[in-house]
Structure 1
Amino acid sequence: MVHLPVRHGDRPGALEDAGDRIDELGRAQHRLRGLLSAFLQVQSGVDLDDTLRRIVEVAVELVDARYGALGVVGRDGGLSRFIHQGIDDATVARIGSLPQGLGVLGQLVTRPEPLRADDLSAHPSSVGVPPGHPPMQSFLGVPVQVRGEVYGNLYLTDKRTGSFTAEDEELVLALAGAAGIAVDNARRLADEQERRRWADAVATVREQLLGGTAPGDVLNQITDAVRRLTGSDAARLMAPVGEPGTWTSRAQSGPGLPDSTGVPLTAATSSLVEALVRADGGTVLDLDFSGVPSDRMADQERWGPVLGASLRTADGSEAVLVVGRRRDADPYDPSVAPLLQTFTDQTALALDMAARQRLARSLDVYADRDRIARDLHDHVIQRIFAAGLTLQAVLPQLLADGVPRDRVLDVVGQLDTVIRDIRSTVFDLHSTADDARDPSLRRRVLDALTGSAGTLATSLRTRGPVDALVTGALAADVEAVVREAVSNVTRHAAARSVTVTVTVEGSEAVVVEVVDDGVGIVPTAHRSGLDNLATRAHARGGGFDVAARPEGGTCLRWSSPLR
């Protein structure tokens, strides 16, 4: 056996120190590789939720902790989200509600700087743990910042090999910096995807409007899209109507939402209308109705966060697109309001483009309409009228030849009916949707009919001096009745055509009849619109009736005294 000589000054302890330094260097290299691996894993997340979960998992593994969590700081200063690792679902269920940012966790919220403790329960800010919570001793917490602002805090407890060290704190601080970048990237991607969804919705609305879809149908699509995009329980397009301070819903969307379309609302009956009146043309509404009694809400629902954006078109029309969530729901993120306002601005532009397109199309056919109207009036009506006069002139001779009188008078009556129908057609041909110089009831009823009928074939007939005797509030009611009745036909009747007849009977009453060739009355259909019509009639001392026609379809009859 050969022994190496030991020179003066050599000590066995020096070899041990060198071994310790080599071991320490190996551990440091191992931790550095772990930190680099953690960086790569955190940055690989694309979805924000997935990124947050990865951050917690990587942090727990990096410092050999038993438990870990990431608390996202909410707008109110508490924790809006809490992503945890190491506690199974059964234990979470026993604990109950997740931490709200109190005690040691709250200190990190109010003082966002690293916090390390050997015994969590002995810390001055400790408030203990709820029943069923696993015991935790050592603690390490560091803030996670995004663009210089605290996004949340990373919490680690129960290091498996003792207490957390200063080296652990440095590693987790470095990880938190990478986590902030990863969260920022994920949020940017999520924001971009959200903006793309809103842009796609605007493109769909524009395509529908410019493709000739009825504006009423597009309004329903608008409320459907906005409700889904904002994660809301309800969406309504509110517009002023009639007297100042009175609003109504032109379109709405929401599961189980009572149909309030066309129902006049005031500040006295609706907290939403009260807020709209107070806003007085404001661009964006951000409200919370959690403290409003439910009996003041028009639909008797318990609403909480509410967001609204104005929609103004070039012709001066005003509306507000409103979305709402039920009481106790999460408030809207601040990023939603500008997206909603951009959507309404783009929708207003699309409505303006569609209006100009409809006007251009109308101008192309007005010349033909005028020509047809002249031909009908100057040639067709005159010839039919002459035929009727001829029949009346030869009536005595026909009676002498044995032709029944009733048969001849029936033919004359049919000719009179044809003349009235042609005159109504002539009026329709001369009418334009934007003719502000013709405020007659026939003009308003025709607008209500064509605006609500969509693709249905329409016909309007008037009998008697409707323009002279039906005025003011009664004329507004007649117009509303036609609009509501035709809308019901469009939505529920599966009809091909609808005919509206407005008759003034002597000087006593006005009668509105709406006849369609659809499937008849559906027993399961909502009757809120029909109930509104009945209420209008009864308020005026009139009558209301809806009945199936023997030949198919439905006949709606609404009447009101003229005085």
Structure 2
Amino acid sequence: MGVVSERLAAISGAEAAIVALVDHGDPKTLVCEAVGGIDMAHWVGVRSPRRGLLAVAIDTQTPLIVADLPADERYDPPAEWRKAMTDVGMGMAIPLVASGESLGALVVVWRRGSDAERAARSEVDDVQMFATHAAAVLQRVRIQQQHARSDLWLEAAGQLARLLLTDVDRDHAMHTVSKRLQQASGADIVGVIIADAGDTTNVASVIFEGLETAAPPDMRLPRQGLVAAVLDSGEAIVSKDYTRQQGYDPPAQWSSEFAAVGLGMLMPMAVDGEVLGVLFAGWRRNSPHEQDAFTEAEQVQTFADLAALALYRIRSQDCHDQLVALQERDRLAREVGDTMLQRLYAAGLQLVTSHDLAAEPQLKRNLMTTMHTLDQASDEIRNVFFRKSPTEPGNEQES
């Protein structure tokens, strides 16, 4: 679009050639995509309401040619445009239409009384040709971008799935999820929040990418607001104006950074109906990825599902490791217990023999006391190493 505007301004002698596109995230808004001729590069990216001559041309898909632009009652440009174009006379607003869709408009203006203005009256068809080619280029670029973005999503999801099938720890797995999601979606902030089954008032922040204020692993956060709503309902929240979503209540230390978020998504990380956590993705207002990302909530949910499977797998592995450790500890305990009992039994036999051979009454009493102490020690060892666990069948405690 930069090439289109610059070349058109140079060939036609126009004061300015401007490409204004419809914001698909907000169809009532136009975005200045390119400016040629006049030195107003800072106009690029400026957003303005869809109104005036541009709105008429875009809505009707009809070219508008105005001999005295400032005198036309429909002339209602943004304030920045009006100041820079006080000397303009003739103007054209040519809609950019591709496959029946109005993508925006090409605006061309000439300085009042200039030779270029007089020549432009016979060049309407040439300007229209520029607009037609510009619309075709826009459509082709958008299709290419959509395909490239789709391929990026598929590639990232495939890489993530393969990685999470290997042995990775929780923090590394969640860090990988957030990085791959940022690469595929262009999200500015990505975070993973884990529910704690043993704590109904708090959650744990595992990773947050894109924040200036770093979040340490397992940072405890109150279980409240939108995060709590997703954990409780298992339903995703997708909002174009995240900071105005009912229940929005970010941690105080991140409130200023979250204030810039426009599109925000909270996706449940669930397995078999159990919500293990929440995956957050946020895009700053006017991010170049915001419009496309709004249509990709399903892909973001896929990442949340993969993260949930990784968490479930890691948790299952931890449980298995704990079970193996307990079994090994029980085996060692039994072996140690057997050895100790054998030694205590041998010591007891020696004491019985010494007791029978002893002639001193006091010595006999001392030996008998020691034998009772050994018997008590043997009973305690049996209770510690060989009693049933309270959770084993047949060993429930009576109330």
Give the TM-score range, shorter chain.
0.5 to 0.7
- Residue by residue, what CA displacement relative to the aligned partner does 1:69-127 show, whole Å, maximum 9, x if unpaired? 10011214121233101122xx556x899472554334434544201122222222224
Contact 1:113 1:143 in 2 (8 A): yes
Structure 1 unaligned segments of length 5 or more: list them: 1-51, 398-415, 431-436, 440-466, 469-563
> Residue 361 of structure 2 aligns with which residue?
none
> Residue 227 of structure 2 aligns with which residue?
273
Alignment of 1:190-201 (within 5 A): 190-201=145-156
Give SS of 2:267's match: strand
> Residue 151 of structure 1 aligns with which residue?
103
Shift of 1:343: 4.0
Contact 1:234 1:257 in 2 (8 A): no
- Residue by residue, what CA displacement relative to the aligned partner does 1:168-202 show, whole Å, maximum 9, x if unpaired? 33233333233222212211221222223223322
> Residue 317 of structure 1 aligns with which residue?
275
1:135 aligns with 2:87: yes
> Residue 168 of structure 2 aligns with which residue?
213
> Residue 369 of structure 2 aligns with which residue?
none
Shift of 1:242: 4.7
Alignment of 1:69-468 (within 5 A): 69-74=18-23, 75-88=26-39, 98=46, 100-101=48-49, 102-127=51-76, 129-133=81-85, 135-158=87-110, 160-163=115-118, 168-242=123-197, 248-254=203-209, 255-257=211-213, 259=215, 261-267=218-224, 270=225, 272-273=226-227, 276=230, 280-291=233-244, 296-300=249-253, 301-302=255-256, 303=258, 304-305=261-262, 306-314=264-272, 316-325=274-283, 330=287, 333-345=290-302, 348-349=305-306, 352=309, 376-387=332-343
Contact 1:72 1:80 in 2 (8 A): yes
The structure-2 alpha-carbon separation of the partners of 1:345 and 1:389, relative to structure 1 and needing over 3 Å to count, comes to farther
Aligned residue type for 1:333 = E
The structure-2 alpha-carbon separation of the partners of 1:99 and 1:199, relative to structure 1 and needing over 3 Å to count, comes to closer
- Residue by residue, what CA displacement relative to the aligned partner does 1:400-424 show, whole Å, maximum 9, x if unpaired? xxxxxxxxxxxxxxxx9xx9xx97x
Give SS of 1:335's match: helix
Contact 1:114 1:169 in 2 (8 A): no
Contact 1:234 1:253 in 2 (8 A): yes
Shift of 1:223: 2.3
**Over aligned residues, Cα RMSD in angstroms?**
4.9
- Residue by residue, what CA displacement relative to the aligned partner does 1:479-511 show, whole Å, maximum 9, x if unpaired? xxxxxxxxxxxxxxxxxxxxxxxxxxxxxxxxx
Give SS of 2:252's match: coil
Contact 2:230 2:236 in 1 (8 A): no
Task: Give, in whole Å, the separation in 1 of the partners of 2:236 and 2:119.
Answer: 52
The structure-2 alpha-carbon separation of the partners of 1:142 and 1:245, relative to structure 1 and needing over 3 Å to count, comes to farther
Alignment of 1:21-40 (within 5 A): none
1:65 to 9, 14, 35: 14
Task: Give, in whole Å, the separation in 2 of the partners of 1:192 and 1:157.
Answer: 36
Aligned residue type for 2:299 = T
The structure-2 alpha-carbon separation of the partners of 1:294 and 1:376, relative to structure 1 and needing over 3 Å to count, comes to closer
Give SS of 2:88's match: coil
Aligned residues: 351
Task: Give, in whole Å, the separation in 2 of the partners of 1:178 and 1:210.
Answer: 48
Contact 2:169 2:314 in 1 (8 A): no
The structure-2 alpha-carbon separation of the partners of 1:182 and 1:387, relative to structure 1 and needing over 3 Å to count, comes to farther
Task: Give, in whole Å, the separation in 2 of the partners of 1:167 and 1:139.
Answer: 13
Contact 2:189 2:208 in 1 (8 A): yes
Contact 2:59 2:102 in 1 (8 A): no
Shift of 1:276: 3.3
TM-score (norm 2): 0.68
Task: Give, in whole Å, the separation in 2 of the partners of 1:257 and 1:211.
Answer: 31
The structure-2 alpha-carbon separation of the partners of 1:247 and 1:61, relative to structure 1 and needing over 3 Å to count, comes to farther
The structure-2 alpha-carbon separation of the partners of 1:179 and 1:229, relative to structure 1 and needing over 3 Å to count, comes to same
Give SS of 1:251's match: strand
Task: Give, in whole Å, the separation in 2 of the partners of 1:188 and 1:104.
Answer: 28
Contact 2:93 2:107 in 1 (8 A): yes
Shift of 1:134: 6.3
The structure-2 alpha-carbon separation of the partners of 1:191 and 1:164, relative to structure 1 and needing over 3 Å to count, comes to farther
Task: Give, in whole Å, the separation in 2 of the partners of 1:147 and 1:130.
Answer: 32
The structure-2 alpha-carbon separation of the partners of 1:227 and 1:246, relative to structure 1 and needing over 3 Å to count, comes to farther
Shift of 1:225: 3.1
The structure-2 alpha-carbon separation of the partners of 1:387 and 1:183, relative to structure 1 and needing over 3 Å to count, comes to farther
TM-score (norm 1): 0.50
Task: Give, in whole Å, the separation in 2 of the partners of 1:98 and 1:105.
Answer: 15
> Residue 545 of structure 1 aligns with which residue?
none
